[in-house]
Amino acid sequence: MKTKIPIILFGREYWNKIINFEYLADLGLIADENLNLFQYADSASEAWEIIKSSNIPN
């Protein structure tokens, strides 16, 4: 079984201006089911919460 790990992008406002992930999925460049791998964090503590809740095996 493959483990999916989140891709954490710091600065939601910045990344929303730079890359439109939904559009890339519409073009078929990213699978729709993989869009949830991209997550945004605006602080280290927010990123840590994403990591803790991602169910990555130790």
Question: What does the pLDDT read at residue 1?
Answer: 46
Within a domain: 57: no
Total domains in the chain come to 1
The residues that bridge with 7 in the sheet, in sequence order, are 38
Question: What does the pLDDT read at residue 57?
Answer: 64
Within a domain: 15: yes
Within a domain: 24: yes
Within a domain: 18: yes
Query: Scanning the structure block, which residue is given the tokens 């992008």?
Result: 9
The residues that bridge with 38 in the sheet, in sequence order, are 7
> CB count, 10 Å around CB of 56?
11
**What is the tens place of the pLDDT at every residue in 3-52?**
778 899 999 999 999 999 999 999 999 999 888 888 999 999 999 999 88
Amino acid at the residue 46: E
Within a domain: 1: no
Range of the domain at 27: 7-52
Q: Answer left, alpha or beta for residue 11, where phi above 0 means left and psi between -120 and 50 means alpha.
A: left
Within a domain: 58: no
Within a domain: 41: yes
- This model's pTM is above 0.75: no
